[in-house]
Structure 1
Amino acid sequence: MLINAKHADACKVKTACLVIGIAEGGKLDTLGKTLDTACDGALSKLLKRGDLAGKAGQTLLVPGLAGISAERLLLVGTGKDKTLSERTLRKITASALTTLKSLGGKDAVFALSEQSVKGRDHYGKARLISETLLQGVYVFDRFKSQKADAIALKQCTLLASSKADLAEITRGAQHAQAIADGAAFTRDLGNLPGNLCHPSFIAEQAQALGKAHKKLSIEVLTEKDLLKLGMGAFMAVAQGSAQPPRLVIMHYQGGAKDEAPYALVGKGITFDTGGISLKPGAGMDEMKYDMCGAATVLGTFRALVELDLPINVVGLLACAENMPSGHATRPGDIVTSMSGQTVEILNTDAEGRLVLCDTLTYAERFKPRAVIDIATLTGACIVALGSNVSGLMGNHEPLIKQILKAGESADDRAWQLPLYDEYQEQLDSPFADIANIGGPKAGTITAGCFLSRFAKNYHWAHLDIAGTAWVSGGKDKGATGRPVPMLTQYLLDRAAEAKA
């Protein structure tokens, strides 16, 4: 579905359906009063009958009214508050879309730009509306014999009430389109089964993206390359599987050649059985989502190339499959990481940090401005934060603040957790430099502490997306595409600084 914007008289706009907001109690705003005048009071008479209370998300479809060019009018309740929250704006947009998808119209016009939303200007409102619409039409039925019926709706237009607002609304819609495309790419990869989406497949997806965009080049390191680099921690995870590991390096050159890049590192465990420390069978199918960190980096790069940002970015996808076998790593094994630090592997199900630690060491060669790793790393993060926000830690407070700000702007939030030295003691090992787990307490934080030991030579942040990368169980089960919006916003902010 395409999203665009235009400035026009709402009364004269020709569309299959015009969407307008109605406050609780049937109160008309300035736009509503204009439309009511054009249809000789028919709108206010309709509301007085009480067919629409105006509660947030309620909808009422009205056939064409004399004096208004739209074939239909979709009234959507905005609630009692004059200033809407982001949640309410998403709710009313999603409710309107549900109705629109059931109609035969090919297009719709959303006249919601004058709704007041807390902390949002015209650009911000346009992005939220557009992303909600685009997310709402996502379907993954690749393996269904009976495909979902295609909806007639092909285009939504955001109506600007003034020419002065049009540029910002258009920019918001364009950015949302790129972000939604990236998030859909991430969702598709996450939803694929592990028998198809293995490390080599992810590498192929990156290579295909690179071929389609001139500013993007791809390099793929194989098992032999990883062994030569001394990535003993990475290989300890991969050695139990018949699927060979891959380290995918993505170079986006949007800035000057000598300009230091930003680096995104994604955990790409394409299926996680837990290895010898085998996971319980119930729900193990969802471990196909353990590569959502790598999928997020790919999705962010998809958005990045569409936005054509004037910065340099490196993406590192640490891809392996964690399986039990006669070749698999045993609990108690000790391996040497690329950094030279030795690791005692007390639990083979704490594998994500092992592929990431070597990849974080590899990232040093790019002399990055900042490094952000993204990983479905710990179940403890779901216990701590649920599925609403991602966990965030790091060694550089300005970088942390930049990510938190980007999350707020994108409505894809993170929450900072402490990374105090006291937690590091839980990783002490009597036999090696470090153990790969720190016991039952503060599991998310000790995982971050582990990674921090391999990220001392640059500004680094860690995003634990175990609770946000996918919806577990139920009819809405599937990858969410998060945190593509947050990371894309982070890069948009850095691009804006580069232009300033």
Structure 2
Amino acid sequence: MESTTNLLHISLTQQPAAAAFGKASLTPSSQGYQIHVKAGDELRSIQKAARQLDNLGLTEVQLAGDWSLEAQWAFYQGFINAKRFSGVNFTGDAATVTRLQQLVRCYSFARGLINQTPEQLSPELLCQHAAAFIQEVAGDGKVSQQILLGEQLQQAGWHGIYQVGRGSDRAPALLELDFNPTGNPDAPVAAALVGKGITFDSGGYSIKATEGMLTMKCDMGGAATVTAALALAILGGLTQRVKLILCCAENLISGHAYKLGDIITYKNGTTVEIVNTDAEGRLVLADGLQLAGDSGAGLIIDAATLTGAAQTAVGTEYNALFALDQVLAQRALAYAAEQQELTWQLPLAKWHQQQCPSPYADTANSRPVKGGGAGGASNAAGFLSRFVPNDGQGWLHFDLAAAFNGSANAYWAAGATGQGIRTIAATLLAELSA
């Protein structure tokens, strides 16, 4: 890393740009550049200016002057890109810099994993990378794990993951990781995190168009998000036992792939007719949610790049939140706001379980229309709610509409964003300390 004395210094100012620069939000200073912060939109104006600096070709800068933690994090989010997760030298006291470095560590892990090509990242490798990262963060003696592959899934009764992934030459996989810092093997499991890990989604026989398939390396974003969130919570002082469950598969077409009209019978007895092989995320999460319920965890959080309908509803700057437990949902929204991660609650009621009827099974996995029809994101959440304990009390579902950008915009480089990691980590820490 270059000496910080030789780097361009980036400072903040509340003053508008000099008349010669018009309404510019970024102007030269004696040591580098100054960002003219827009009142009422401070963090976004900082992130936008950082994106402009990256577009100028700068690879490393020094933040100088008076910066809050959130202002520095907004700058980092705008400055980095898919090829470079470093280059921002933070400022402030030791605690602030340490926290920012923890965020960089966890977000870089998730972004790097999500941005990997489908050929680089098989379901088994995804499980291995996630387990290794948690082991590295947690230290010795606190983590145990089990990975089930291929036919082992079917033998264990995890039919959703098996059926979705059996069309690929690379076996589907289920990671069950146990973070237990108590040292007591009989300690109760306080929480379980469940992540969708579809390492590539062709849509299966309900095949996607090229433009829809191009970015489907990101469909394991939920698995990366919950892994990074657990790591961030551990770095933040998590002391209770938590299970990490990743449901991983490639959704491909072959003579051995699952088909439209198939019926999957789950461990809890629920039968599901396949009317859309591109509605596969909910099929693998159903297994993970049941395993989470079996752990006895009082708090269950799942995260997934689940539906295009969520993006249609909230755009790509917000994540969508679903819950039957409305008191918990309101607390989660407050945690998201504290962490500066845009999150919006969409409707979910018990009757959403009935929105995908089937004449042959208890439910279909979607509606046989484009995008799952009206209310598709809520219907998907309703499907998931069939597989959680306690009538959904203690359960949160994040549909990660903001997890990935197919192309750059004024605030984000192309690729993974990591949005949702801070919210889930904060939820873990707050709920388990209550």
Q: Is the 8 A contact 2:110 2:224 kept in 1?
A: yes
Which amino acid in 2 is paired with 1:462?
A: H
Shift of 1:57: 2.6
Structure 1 length-normalised TM: 0.76
Residues 446 and 488 of structure 1, relative CA distance in 2, 3 Å threshold: same
Deviation at residue 137 of structure 1 after TM alignment = 5.0
Q: Are 2:173 and 2:248, in contact at CA under 8 Å, matched by a contact in 1?
A: yes
Q: How far apart, in 2, do the equivalents of 1:107 and 1:86 lie?
A: 18
Q: Which moved more, 1:325-334 or 1:210-219?
A: 210-219
Aligned CA distance change for structure 1 residues 486 and 210 (closer, same or farther; 3 Å)? closer
Residue 225 of structure 1: how far off its partner (Å): 3.1
| Counterpart-to-counterpart distance in 2, 1:73 and 1:431 | 67
Q: Aligned residues, how many?
A: 419
Q: Does 1:454 align with 2:387?
A: yes
Matches within 5 A, 1:24-423: 24-25=15-16, 50=19, 57-62=25-30, 72=31, 74-79=33-38, 81=39, 85-91=42-48, 94=50, 98=54, 102=58, 108-113=62-67, 125-126=68-69, 128-141=70-83, 155-158=89-92, 166=93, 170-212=94-136, 213-214=139-140, 215-255=142-182, 257=184, 258-423=187-352
Contact 1:59/1:96 (CA < 8 Å) preserved in 2?
no
- Residues 477/23 of structure 1: CA separation in 2 closer, same or farther (3 Å cut): closer
Does the Cα contact within 8 Å between 1:251 and 1:313 map onto a contact in 2? yes
User: CA, structure 1 residues 60+310, in 2 after alignment: closer, same or farther (shift >3 Å)?
Assistant: same
- Separation of aligned partners in 2, 1:107 and 1:289: 29
Deviations 1:117-165 (A, max 9, x none): xxxxxxxx31x23323443453444xxxxxx8x99x663323xxxxxxx
Task: Give unpaired runs (5+ residues) of structure 1.
Answer: 3-12, 27-46, 63-71, 114-124, 142-147, 159-165
| Structure 2 counterpart SS, 1:449 | helix
> Residues 52 and 77 of structure 1 are in contact (CA less than 8 Å); yes or no, is this contact kept in structure 2?
no
SS at match of 1:328: coil
1:78 to partner: Cα distance: 2.3
Rounded Cα–Cα distance in structure 1 between residues aligned with 2:123 and 2:214: 17
Alpha carbons of 1:91 and 1:343: their partners in 2 closer, same or farther (altered >3 Å)?
same
Equivalent position SS for 1:220: strand
Q: What is the CA RMSD across the aligned residues, in angstroms?
A: 3.0
Letter aligned with residue 207 of structure 2:
L
SS in 2 for 1:261: strand
User: Which is greater in Rg?
Assistant: 1
- CA–CA distance in structure 2, aligned partners of residues 331 and 209 of structure 1: 37
TM-fit CA distance, 1:189: 0.9
Select the residue among 481, 484, 492 that pairs with 2:418: 481
Is the CA contact 2:47–2:76 (under 8 Å) kept in the aligned structure 1?
Answer: no
Distance 1:469 1:96, change over 3 A: closer
- Alpha-carbon contact 1:268-1:320 (below 8 Å) kept: yes
Corresponding residue of 2:377:
444
CA distance in 2 between partners of 1:90 and 1:231 (Å): 43
- Code of the residue aligned with 2:73 in structure 1: it is E
**For residues 456 and 108 of structure 1, do their structure 2 counterparts lie closer, same or farther at Cα, with a shift above 3 Å needed?**
same
| Aligned residues of 1:56 and 1:88 also touching (Cα < 8 A) | no
Where does residue 22 of structure 1 map in the other structure?
13
1:463 deviation in Å? Answer: 0.8
Indicate whether 1:464 and 2:399 are aligned.
Answer: yes
Shift of 1:315: 1.0
Relative contact order, higher structure (CA 8 A, sep 6+): 2
> Is this contact kept in 2: 1:350–1:437, CA < 8 A?
yes
The sequence identity of aligned pairs, in percent, is 32
The 8 Å contact of residues 131 and 177 in structure 1, kept in 2 or not, is answered as no
Shift of 1:280: 1.4
